[in-house]
Structure 1
Amino acid sequence: MIELNEKSIVKINGDVSSPKGFEAKGIHIGLRYSKKDLGLIVSEVPAASAAVYTQSHFQAAPLQVTQKSLKKTGQLKGVIVNSAIANACTGEQGLKDAYEMQAACADMLGVEPDYIAVSSTGVIGECLDMDKIKKGITQLKEAKAGNGHFEEAILTTDTVIKNTTYTLTINGKEILISGAAKGSGMIHPNMATMLGFVTTDANVEQEALQNALRDITDVTFNQITVDGETSTNDMVLVMANGMAENEVLNEEHPEWPLFKEGLKLACEDLAKEIARDGEGATKLIEAQVAGAKNHLEAGIIAKKIVGSSLVKTAVYGTDANWGRIIGAIGHSAASVTPQEVEVYLGGQCLFKHNEPQPFSEEEAKAYLEQDEITILIQMNEGNGEAAAWGCDLTYDYVKINASYRT
């Protein structure tokens, strides 16, 4: 475990184009009524790239195209993303359109198609308007970069853009790690209806980057849930273009843990922002579990808690009904000894020794009125610990999803 001081990794203002050699753009091409709906990230030089994808059996066409290309090259020059239409469950036409989208972007950037990743998000079962897509890709060439335009272009029912940036020093070189994401509903990874794009100017070995992303995804993006639904288009993609000119990083490098921690912090920020912006949500819920049999079981318990509809509605209603938390823990696939479980909320112990504990309902209610809620669980089974993030369940969630297509 690396010892980090407060200056090792510092969060700063920035966006997905902040690392050296990256540019990000977003424009409106008419797939949506008035909002930006086509985005592009470009690296000045080919970037070592890694990705993880939805585990849905109905994997969307853009993901199939991106996976195949990235397997071939291990590098990317750019990623093209549209919102409004997911290009999922669209058969041979959808696959053809995804390849056409990739080829059009590659032609605009003057590279081979396999150096372009393709991503789409939006309504399932509708085909892309390729005339608008191809015309839009041409327009992107002259579009202004920065100003959060890319982050806007990838949103669907999101209410805010989501980005983060960290700086750290490796081999005396300043390295930036930045990220952008979208996600609001159909969130229950492995993985959820979310897209995450991380850029860094670090020089990183591709295989090491892939291994790191897989590990980090398990404790960040795969630990969020909004509504228990997994989508068809989800992807997290990392591009490392090496323009910071540090020594190549891999698992053997002494400062690898520092880089990996920076990448984890960026991914955790984006994951929490997605959970916070769940459709109709008013509160971010974090479950912290300690003392589980192992880290895997701690993660299972934490995610059960934030995924429970009853816990989510109790938080929305500012009701300190710890029985709902116990209910979620009780049907998790983890080792549970009821006499050992302890439940804490806002610094108060609500449950211990398999019986209720005296606590102030007024203080608990006041705590639940905040917009960030942390539920602490001590299992007393071992050394496993983990966190998970979700949001409350409100009337607005039903309204949003009852009329998603209309």
Structure 2
Amino acid sequence: MDEMTHAPAEVAKNIKNVAVSSQPFVVPGFQVSAVQSGMRYRNRLDLALIVAEPQEGAVAAGVFTTNRFCAAPVEWCRRCLDSSRAKGILVNAGIANACTGEEGFKRAGEMARMAGEALNAPPGDILISSTGVIGPQVLLEPVQKSMPALVKGLRPDRWGAVAEAIMTTDTVPKLASTRIQIGGRTVTIGGVAKGSGMIAPNMATLLAFVCTDAAVDPQVLNYWVHWGADRSFNSITVDGDTSTNDTLLVLAGGHAGNAVLADRMSPESRLFGEALSAVLSELAKKIVLDGEGATKFIEILVTGASDAASARSVAFTVANSPLVKTAFFGEDANWGRIVAAAGRAGVPLQPEKVTLFFDRVCVFKAGTPLTGSDIEEKATAVFKQKELRVHLDLGMGDSQFTAFTCDFSYDYVKINASYRS
């Protein structure tokens, strides 16, 4: 993934002030559809199409996996986004089209050609995304047969069906949207995501597709997409595995009629970035809440770090620790596993300066555990909650970072032990 982008501090502070809905939505200027292609799954939606209504398409930006074995659709999208425009996005679930060589790339191009012909658009204007099992070639016949019904079913209000069609081991569809006022115009930002396992920073086995009717300059859109991704999808982890197909695509159609956001530091642009980040953050949170076999949602807040990189490293070392995650599942307030994980994060620490809280319960202060039955009882009560915060103050500086994770349960092993069957 690209280097982390920086935005004004006030934007980061205001993200929590944006009201985000999980209810069905419509983004003016876009139509969507989903059908059962039968490529791998039976009797369920597994092929989706998102289309920008103007024939010239929409401004487009994306963030993708950093895995060296990136899937053919990722390579296709990277090439297509050189133009910063797209007419539509075609997504299949069940077969990832990853590690499939030259033939896999050709098949991704064929999928784009099929959708392009149906929409009267060149293949390069169609972005492709896939999720599912790594290795098999994506099947083109089901896509070809499904294309007429897919295009005929295009409607503004079928985002819920799209969210269902992109699921693999997900247990629930994931939607998020918000509306803001920019220059006297109502701007809508709405999107869907999938992801449950193989989730780690630098994107994960997640797909996210977000559309907005805002008019945005391509460079400004690209800036806010990357900034928002760093603070949402790249701040979560379920199991520490980075996948081959991770894709976030954002399309801006301009239907709202606002003056084009061309200065990324203008108040209007900052407001747009704030709202986009809020939608991405809500989708990211839904992925962690739906982590394979997960029973808890955990925020790992690291403060007092000497620099941002150190804070991030400690947060993710704790968040990815199997011993820490199983303690969450067992509701065992085992502070020793957390400080031990922090100590092996590879950053300078002074143990005598470290303090640890479970929510507001201090269990470890200035390098020494706080003892007493009341503290143990309060800490255990925190671990019995479905959502909780671990706050680790390193006492080394002013930098901080927050990672979001879940616990490891018996079901995580069961799900991943038989994923291909």
How far residue 116 of structure 1 moved from its aligned partner, in angstroms, is: 0.8
Alignment size in residue pairs:
404
**Which of residues 85, 89, 112 in structure 1 aligns to 2:95?**
85
Whether 2:390 is the aligned partner of 1:390: answer no
Q: CA deviation at 1:361?
A: 2.1
Q: Does 1:30 align with 2:38?
A: yes
Partner of 1:99: 109
Provide Cα deviations, 1:335-377, integer angstroms capped at 9, x if missing partner: 3221111110031101111110135222222221221121112
Structure 1 position 59 matched with structure 2 position 70: yes
Partner residue of 2:239?
Answer: 227
Query: What is the CA-CA distance between 1:13 and the residue it aligns to?
Result: 4.9
Report if the CA contact (8 A) 1:2-1:258 is conserved: no
Distance 1:134 1:61 in 2: 19
The answer to whether the aligner puts 1:324 opposite 2:324 as a matched pair is: no
Task: Give the corresponding residue for 2:176.
Answer: 164
Q: CA deviation at 1:297?
A: 2.3
Q: Distance in 1 between matches of 2:393 and 2:181?
A: 36
Report whether the alignment pairs 1:9 with 2:32: no
Query: Deviations along 1:316-344, whole A, 9 cap, x unmatched?
Result: 00000001110111111333221111110
Asked if structure 2 preserves the Cα contact closer than 8 Å seen for 1:26 and 1:36, the reply is yes
Aligned partner of 1:24: which letter?
V
2:268 pairs, out of 255, 279, 284, with 255
**Is 1:364 matched with 2:371?**
no
Report what 2:353 is aligned to.
340
**AA paired with 1:50?**
A
Q: How far apart are 1:248 and its partner, in Å? A: 1.3
Deviation at 1:95, TM superposition (A): 1.1
Question: 2:420 aligned with 1:405, yes or no?
Answer: yes
Letter in 2 for 1:132: P
Cα distance in 1 for partners of 2:16, 2:328 equals: 36
Question: Is the 1:12–1:167 Cα contact (8 Å) retained in structure 2?
Answer: no
Displacement of 1:40 after TM fit? 1.0
- The whole-number CA distance in structure 2 between the counterparts of 1:297 and 1:170 is 37
Corresponding residue for residue 3 of structure 2: none
Distance 1:81 1:6 in 2: 29
Q: Give 1:216 deviation, angstroms.
A: 2.0
Residue deviations 1:207-263, cap 9 Å, x none?
Answer: 121122222222211111111111111111111111111111131423222111111
CA 1:335 to 1:241, structure 2 compared with 1: closer, same or farther past 3 Å?
farther
Match 2:51 to one of 42, 58, 62: 42
Percent of aligned positions with the same letter in both sequences?
Answer: 42
Q: Helix, strand or coil for the counterpart of 1:175?
A: strand
* 1:43 Cα deviation after fit: 1.2
> Residues 15 and 278 of structure 2 are in contact (CA less than 8 Å); yes or no, is this contact kept in structure 1?
no
Offset from partner CA, 1:252-289 (integer Å, 9 cap, x none): 42322211111111111111111111111111111112
1:2–1:186 distance in 2 versus 1, CA, 3 Å: same
Is 1:191 aligned with 2:203?
yes
Greater mean deviation of Cα atoms: 358-367 or 94-103: 358-367
Give distance in 2, aligned partners of 1:219 and 1:257: 15
- Pairwise CA RMSD: 1.8
Match for 1:27: what amino acid? V
* Residue ranges of structure 1 left out of the alignment (5+ in a row): none
Q: Of the candidates 287, 293, 296, which is equivalent to residue 274 of structure 1? A: 287
Give the AA of the match of 1:304.
Answer: T
**AA matched with 2:181:** T
Provide the secondary structure at the position in 1 that maps to 2:32: strand
Equivalent residue for 1:297, pick from 295, 310, 331: 310
Q: CA deviation at 1:12?
A: 3.3
Task: Give the whole-Å Cα distance in 2 for the aligned partners of 1:201 and 1:223.
Answer: 27
Is the contact between residue 219 and residue 386 of structure 1 (CA under 8 Å) also seen in structure 2? no
Provide closer, same or farther for how the CA distance between residues 233 and 347 of structure 1 changes in structure 2, counting only shifts above 3 A.
same
Deviates more, 1:30-39 or 1:332-341: 332-341
User: How far apart are residue 25 of structure 1 and its match?
Assistant: 1.6
| Counterpart secondary structure, 1:274 | helix
Q: TM-score, normalising length from structure 2?
A: 0.92
Deviation at 1:294, TM superposition (A): 2.5
SS where residue 132 of structure 2 aligns?
coil
- Give the superposition deviation at 1:122: 0.1
